[in-house]
Structure 1
Amino acid sequence: MRRFSFALIVLLCAAGTTGAQSAAPVDEHTETIKTLLARLEKVEKRLAELEARQPAAGAPAPAAEPFAGAQDKPGTQAAAVEKREPAGMTHAGMGQGAEPPPSTFPSLKLSGFADINFSATDEKNVNSGFNLGQFVLHAASPLSRKVSYFGEISFTATATGYNVDVERSIIRYDYNDHFKLSFGRYHTPVNYWNTAFHHGSWLQTTISRPEMIKFGGRLLPVHFIGLQAEGDIPSGGANLGYSFGVGNGRGSIISRGGDPGDVNNNRAWLVSLYSRPARLYGLQIGGSVYRDKITPGPGQRFNELISSAYLAWTRETPEILAEFANVHHSDVNTGRVFNTHAFYVQLAYRLPFTEKRWKPYYRFEYINRPTTEPVLGITGLLGSTAGMRYDISDYAALKAEYRNTKRGPGQPHINGLFLQTSFTF
């Protein structure tokens, strides 16, 4: 900088000499040089101040902050879920995390979920006490840069031992963000809850799933065996996504999917669309259509059409989940039509004190089934659930719920207290 100043002064002096030879007044050039020198001095001082504020050239740069999820306080359930589930979870339940180098294929990763429960109700002929919930294992492995596998196995306690089920088994090819093709056994993308909260009750705010989509339930098909295409739809800030599947419909036991094959040689199909607006982070709205032909008994044939819509706001302050589904059955033999409606609304709020460990919640749910409906074999429901979740750590929680339910006309209200500790490992 000093050399630059000296060179400038020399040039100015030379200019002054030339001006003098041109008969310009010497005093005028002298004043000009003084003004320029004063300005130069101010610039040099300003540069010196700026250089003093900057770290030395050889000083190490500040360390980059760790991944945001690692800094979340205990009790931030949503962040903890992101840490347990692979990044970019989709309807298939598989991630889009960073691709490992080719030398690590395959690269198996195991994780698990478990819960222990206590229940006490005033329902007649129902015992109260402790019970072991589902023990669930997840296995995920990339097979190449474009191919990955995900599996889920559950162990459920029964009176005679344990039932072991393959809940999900999926191999997926990722062509790009707009098209991913997978084959296997899925959680049917027939509504939001079934694709957001899988086996492992720690994942969900509440102890229980809504009645309309409970495991082993008959209203909506929880599992689907076939192929599925999914991806993003170029849509700017609307962030649209889709899912399309073709596979076996409901099994001979209507609460189960057609794992060994389709019972009536008619494929089921489904379409799901959703939006995650960029300006409303945490909001997802969507809907789906599911079509099948079912044969619940000898000589019985029904066309089944399930339509659903949902809104989910998952910012935790608050959390809002609302879903509606209509199950339409038309008797092929008689032409009679039956519609069963179901919906729930769930509200929760992560409290700001004690490191955001406390999360109260409330859910209202309703199912209206015509008494003459011949397929589903379920009762109606009017129910309320109020509870509190306390996150012991990022990976373990305590929950307490009070439930009041009424099933069908003329049935009494049932009151119950339910406690649970759930965790992931």
Structure 2
Amino acid sequence: MTTLETRTPKTAEEWLTRATEVRHRLAEGAAARDRAGETPYDEIALLKDSGLVTLLGPVEHGGGGQEWPLAYRVIREVAAGDGSIGQLLGYHLLWFWAARLVGTAEQIEAVEAEATRNRWFFGGAVNPRDEDVVIRDAGDHIVYTGRKSFSTGSKVSDVTVLEGVLEGTDTHVFAIVPSAQPGITFHDDWDNIGQRLTESGSVTISEVQVPWEAAAGFREKVFEPRTYNTLNVPTIQLVFVSFYLGIARGALEEAAEYTRTRTRPWLHGGQERAVDEPYQLDLYGDLQSKLWAAEALADAVAEEALAIHRDAWEVTPEQRGAHEVRVAAAKARATEVALEVTSRVFEGLGARATATELGFDRFWRNVRTHTLHDPVAYKRREVGAHLLRDELPEPTWYS
């Protein structure tokens, strides 16, 4: 891959242009990389070289100083080139931001400065359905031991966000640790049908020590809670929405180019070009319209959240709950649209386009794999309960 311009973008438009450049580089050979399933070291190096990993970082330390609405659009753009790398970037930005989510003011400043200056790439071993990572209080430090069935980013990460439960309590503790250390073993067992380059296999954590002062949000071994701590779910759900829609965008645009240049008109249709077939015009018009609508909803919900992120220390449960309902709606719509787009594009491609070499199936496999993360029916339920019963969702690991 050729080297990108090293100057840090200044405006939202410049960042989107940079993301588009990254997208085009990733799109080259994406189908072959998907088949090979190799660790994406070069692709993560591209994200670092482009500066996209520091998009949310402080300007004074070389970061972009940008906010979540732009970050979601950047994730979407990158995912259009390669869904796996879009997910990795999205998760990285989430864990980069996690210091703001749960950290103390001092921790936020220290983590963001160090991560931005060094262009750390974040991974995370934070599967909430695993309850087997136990944290032992060892005086001036804590010790993580156990296993997580998923650790997205694994070998390509510089640091990993760990999560576990303090022994004898129900207190969860997050901490950032170096990924390359004897106490962390990545098992390279991610072998799923989609998102094959996300390095999302299991991990064993053995006696990983963390100073108490690095336990996110703790002072004198006591966590200082605030409503903003619960913004992890709506924020990561919008990350999901972003790369679902990005993958759908990549599928639609790649399919349209194939139809324009290679699909043959049906021999009994009376048209000389596939692009003049009435059913092709209807198909692509339908899919484009649905994708535009889902993207517009996602952008609107992201903008609505700005007030919450800008007033993180004062956000109320009511503000958080109302935002979660809107996120749930965006997640439900993005899931349905992305699955439809990535499946139905085959109707406009023709039988020859099912060749393994072309890899059009990867778009659907990628969306289908990750949209099973949590049942979309429960997102629709949150929206329905709010509409019919004026209920706001209680914060959980999934709502």
Q: Same fold (TM over 0.5)?
A: no
**Which of the five TM-score ranges fits, normalised by the shorter chain?**
under 0.3
Structure label with greater radius of gyration: 1
More helix by share: 2
TM-score, L = length of structure 2: 0.24
More strand by share: 1
